[in-house]
Structure formats: structure tokens, C-alpha cells
Structure 1
Amino acid sequence: MDSIITQGVAIPRLGFGTFRMPGVDAQPAVESAITLGYRHIDTAAMYENEAAVGGAIAASGIERSEFFVTTKVWHDQLGPDALHRAFDASLRKLRLDHVDLYMIHWPSRDMDMAATLEALVALEERGLTRAIGVCNFNLPMIRRAVEEIGAPIASVQLEYHPFLSQAPMLAYLRGKGIPLTAYAPLAQGRAANDTVLAELGRKHGASAAQMAIAWLLDQAGVIVIPKAARPESQKANLDALAIHLGDDDRAAVAALPKDQRYVRPPFAPDWDATAA
């Protein structure tokens, strides 16, 4: 498995997402993923499955150092004290002595960004997380975090799939050496039913969903964290690592609509904002 080195940590380029796998039901799915070879596991306090993820890691018998574990703080706990309490709760549920990446899950309109990022850095300095990152920041927010505040952002996690362009964000992040982690890489299941991706898949002996993952992995500086509950889907996502796209494939995906954003909670930032 290829990894991307960022802020001194190596993040496997294909991870295992656990969104919408709440409670103990998540543990068998995570155990299956680990058995198949996944070592990058992505969870969050809001997913309500950190205990299941921790249980699966413990049950695997695999050395902790083999795993890259990401978790996240929810947007109503971004004050420094609340953030530290949230982190402690996550760590207890995960049954770990540290995480590899701790992220702001969503920005809050009233957060003190500098204070929140300083609280994340404090966790890193104490060895409780190896790296810090942010999710769902728009471009002006990222610029402020990186250029004004100077936060050592190891990754930015965003919705990214064949139907949504992240070109301006990718250009900026590549210029700063920061990888983009693509969540909802299958467009919440829509990629699996896309006729263009299906046609490309027939050429490669692959499914439409596998082509969506391969398209993301084909791009420099992109990490992908698809969710899959069934072992056969987990394996299919891993098998996408072996697909190599040609220029015709890239052109076909480039021609798909690129304005389809499916994750739009009421607290999301202004995605169209371009200037600080």
C-alpha cells in the first residue's frame, strides 16, 4: 500500500471509512477490513463507533504501530477545554494511548480558529496525536489556518468524487504539500450506477465503483477512504489499487458533471468562497 508522507507521518493512500456504521455493529465490519489488509481506519466521535473501532484493533492482535487511526471532534466542541475533553473521551473509547491524526470534523461559524488549532497542536506536542488536520474547511479557511495561524495541517478531508471538482483546493494543497483525503468517494453510492464509469470498468474488468476509487488514486496527493460494510465490497475497494488509468479514461471522467455536492448540512461553510 502506497503512503503519503505529511508532517512527518505516513498515511496509507487507501483507508477504511466508518461513517454510518454506528454502535457495536461496526466492529465485525472493521475486523473484516483489517483481516483483508486495511491499516488506515477513519472514525469520528459523531459516528458513535469509536469503541467498536478500538475493539476491532484490539481483537486483531496486530501491533498498534501498524495502524493509522484518525478520529475527529464535532463542531460543537471546538473551544479548547471542550476539545480536550472530547479528545480524552475518544481516546478512552478507542482504547489507545494516542491517535495518528486528530481532526476538526466541521468548522463552526463562531469558533476561534486560532485557539482551536492551538488546542490541537497542544495534543500533538503531548504525543497524544501524531498529527492534526481539518475537515470541511473552505479555501479561505484553509489559507488562514496554514498561512496566518501557521498550523501544521497534515491533511484536509473533503467530499471528493468524480462528480465534484476540488480543483482550486487541490492546487492550493499541492502547493503546500498537504494531501487531500477524499470522503464520500463513491458519491454516496451514485458512482456505482454511473453509466460512464461502468463502461470504463468493462474495459478494465472492474466495476463502476472501482473506477471511481481508481480515478481518485490516480491523482497526486489524494487519499481515499471509502466505506464498505460487506467483506466483498471491502475487497473490491482494495482491488481498485491495481487499476491503472489511461488518458482516455481520465478524459471520460473529466467530462462528467463536476458540480454535484451531496453533503450539505445546514452548518456547512460557504463552499463558493474563494477569498479570505
Structure 2
Amino acid sequence: MELPPIGLGTMGVDDPSTITTALDVGYRHLDTAQIYDTEGVIGDGLAASTVDREALIVATKVWADSLAPDDVSETTQASLHRLGLERVDLLYVHRPIDSYDPERTLAAFDQLYSDRIIGGIGLSNFTIDQLETARNLLSAPIAAHQVEFHPLWWSEALLTHAQTHDYQVVAYSPLAGGTVNEIEAVVDIATTHDTTPETVAIAWLLSKPNVVTIPKASSRRHLEANLAARQLTLTDDECRRIDDIDRTLELYPE
């Protein structure tokens, strides 16, 4: 599955016009989750948009309390109803905790994939060992692994695993919860390029093979600014400088 370099994270989005505006300015990947309570907002935004459905990738996630096989099927159907879709392009295991049982949960995801109710299987917040278990159990390929990934928190091991096994890392919270404008190295690089620290952080992510990202934004200005990061190319030295920042801020620990 080839995901667009920059998609839209929708946790906290409460206005369908944000979705229609995002689609209007060029977003083609919308990311939500059952626990975000934004699937209905996205459904309303999709219904109001004239963008061709076939041009979009819509992703959602099954929460940890619904990972028993019957619950996977039932809650996925409920997600489709809220989204107003017959099929979701990418369905994630949100976290491998609580009711997650590798054999039974992943078999249920495989069944949804075989039935063409979902277009791809994603995993989120997995360790290397958990990814390896999933690879061995799934019949379908892993399409994506969604993890927290920003200058103050990321895993080289997880990135290498994705590159080795040819699936995509979807970086959430790429702006470090709004703190990238306080990171000296990122601010200095932004000044060099006459741009913003947010743009630099996104461009740094996109410089890494197999990485895409889903920053949150609501205003047209911020939506457009995030997309514009595709046009910024950082030097190898600048990327290494960001790579070397101490990784001290995990926003969403288990």
C-alpha cells in the first residue's frame, strides 16, 4: 500500500468542514480511530466533498477492548456505518493490549481482508517482537505500522524493521505535541531555510525511506502549511543533526 507522504490526523477534529477543506487543498489520506470519536465527523466531511472516493485512503483503528474476533467484525461494521463507507482502505490494531490475542485477533483481520471489507491491515504501537509475531501469523502483508515519531521520540529499530520488510511507518504526533518550535536544532534549521520548525520536522520525517506522516491541523492555513513541507529538502547534515537530538519526550506511552 502506497500512502501519501502527508495525511491528516483527526483526533480531536469536531467539524466536518475541516475534512472537506483538507480534501480541497489536496489531502488524500484521512486517519481516524474508533476511540477518537471522529469517524462520524469524517463521514459527514466525505459526504460533503466532491473528491473521488477512489482517490482517497481512509484509515481507522480497532480499539484494545474490541480485539476479540466477533468484536473486530462488529466494530468494523459500526465504523463503516459512521464513515458512510462500504469498505475501509486500512484497518489497524490500535494497541496490542487488553483483548488482543495475536492468533485470534489477526485471524479476524485476515478474514476482513479476504472478504474485501478492508484494503489493508495496519498495526499500531507494536514492539519488534510483536511485529515479528504478527508477520508470522498474518496471511495478508503488513501494510503499515503507526507509531509516535518526532524529533524528541522515535525508534531506529522500528524504522529499520519497516524498511527491511517493506511496509510503511505512519508517524503520528510529528510535531511533538506542539513543542518542535522549542527545539534548538529544529529552530536553527528552520531559520536557515526561512521556514517554520513545523515544516522542518515534517520534512525530516519525509527524508526517511518508508516514512509518511499524519499531522493534525484544522485551519486552511495550517493544512496548507503542512502539505507544503513536501517541497523542503534538508541536507544530510541537517537530518543528522535532528537524528542526534536526545529522545526524551514520549507523548503516548502505553
Amino acid at match of 2:6: L
Tell me, yes or no, if structure 1 residue 107 matches structure 2 residue 96: yes
Q: What is the identity percentage for the equivalent residue pairs of Structure 1 and Structure 2?
A: 33
Change in 2 beyond 3 A, CA 1:38/1:110: closer
Shift of 1:20: 2.0
What is the distance in 1 between the residues matched to 2:224 and 2:188?
21
User: 2:5 maps to which residue?
Assistant: 13
SS at match of 2:143: strand
For residues 237-273 of structure 1, what are the alpha-carbon distances to aligned partners after superposition, in whole Å with 9 as ceiling and x for unaligned? 0010000010221122122112421112xxx2xxxxx
Instruction: State the Cα RMSD in Å.
Output: 1.3
Amino acid at match of 2:149: Y
8 Å Cα contact 1:69/1:100 also seen in 2: yes
Tell me, yes or no, if structure 1 residue 196 matches structure 2 residue 185: yes
What is the distance in 1 between the residues matched to 2:91 and 2:119?
8
What is the distance in 1 between the residues matched to 2:22 and 2:138?
37
Unaligned runs of 5+ in 1: 1-8, 269-276
For residues 19-49 of structure 1, what are the alpha-carbon distances to aligned partners after superposition, in whole Å with 9 as ceiling and x for unaligned? 122xxx2312111111111010001111111
Change in 2 beyond 3 A, CA 1:36/1:149: closer
User: 1:208 maps to which residue?
Assistant: 197
Tell me, yes or no, if structure 1 residue 152 matches structure 2 residue 144: no
Change in 2 beyond 3 A, CA 1:221/1:239: same
SS at match of 1:96: coil
Shift of 1:86: 0.5
Amino acid at match of 1:17: G
User: 1:26 maps to which residue?
Assistant: 15
Shift of 1:52: 1.0
Bigger mean CA offset, 48-57 vs 89-98: 48-57
What is the distance in 1 between the residues matched to 2:179 and 2:78?
34
Bigger mean CA offset, 153-162 vs 9-18: 9-18
User: 2:43 maps to which residue?
Assistant: 54
For residues 79-117 of structure 1, what are the alpha-carbon distances to aligned partners after superposition, in whole Å with 9 as ceiling and x for unaligned? 000111100000000001101000111111452211111
8 Å Cα contact 1:18/1:26 also seen in 2: no
Superposed counterparts of 1:126-275, under 5 Å: 126-264=115-253, 268=254
What is the distance in 1 between the residues matched to 2:99 and 2:225?
41
TM-score, normalised relative to structure 2: 0.96
For residues 140-180 of structure 1, what are the alpha-carbon distances to aligned partners after superposition, in whole Å with 9 as ceiling and x for unaligned? 10011113555521000000001113101111121111111
8 Å Cα contact 1:117/1:151 also seen in 2: no
What is the distance in 1 between the residues matched to 2:89 and 2:248?
32
8 Å Cα contact 1:106/1:136 also seen in 2: yes
8 Å Cα contact 1:145/1:151 also seen in 2: no
SS at match of 1:134: strand
What is the distance in 1 between the residues matched to 2:57 and 2:236?
32
8 Å Cα contact 1:14/1:238 also seen in 2: yes
TM-score, normalised relative to structure 1: 0.89
What is the distance in 1 between the residues matched to 2:121 and 2:56?
16
- How many residue pairs get matched? 254
SS at match of 1:250: helix
SS at match of 1:72: strand
Shift of 1:10: 2.5
Amino acid at match of 1:10: E
Amino acid at match of 2:92: M
What is the distance in 2 between the residues matched to 1:135 and 1:122?
19
